[in-house]
Amino acid sequence: MLGDLFLSSGRLVENYKFLYEYLKKCRERGLDCSQLLPSTSILSEIQRKVETSQQSFNELVEYIKSIHSKNIDCNLCIEVFKQVYGLNASCEEAMQVLLTQLAAWYIEILETLGLVKIRFAWKP
């Protein structure tokens, strides 16, 4: 299915079409988007943050933003956002959605591998 990413489970984000399309267009245009792909170091750091400091999802998104915002092409992000959602967005708005999906993907990978457990605070 379009929008599926390696080891994503859909527990945090049901549809990764925006992130998937961004990565696809990035490659098609010959841009270097490899820094956004999950690496052992980023996954290990997220696992450590989840296990030791019990960070919230929003805190993890901010952490991913601090690492990856410089690796995102603003114009491409806006273009893909418009393509996927049919809406205009500022660079900041589009990047926030992309970074949220990126963080969710990393966390879902860790859960799929059995390295972290996703807990939903609103569920008993």
pTM as predicted: 0.84
DSSP 8-state secondary structure symbol assigned to residue 14 = S
C-alpha dihedral sign at 82, 86, 89, 95: negative
Reported as a single tens digit per residue, the pLDDT across 92-101 is 999 999 999 9
What are the structure tokens assigned to 70, written together?
């410089």
In the prediction, which pLDDT does 51 show? 81
Structure-model confidence comparison of residues 60 and 87, the more confident one: 87
In the prediction, which pLDDT does 2 show? 38
CA distance 94 to 102: 12
- CA 49 from chain centre, in angstroms, equals 16
Reported as a single tens digit per residue, the pLDDT across 5-41 is 666 666 667 788 999 999 999 999 999 888 898 899 9
Concatenate the DSSP letters of all residues of 45-58 into one string: HHHHHHHHH---HH
In the prediction, which pLDDT does 13 show? 72
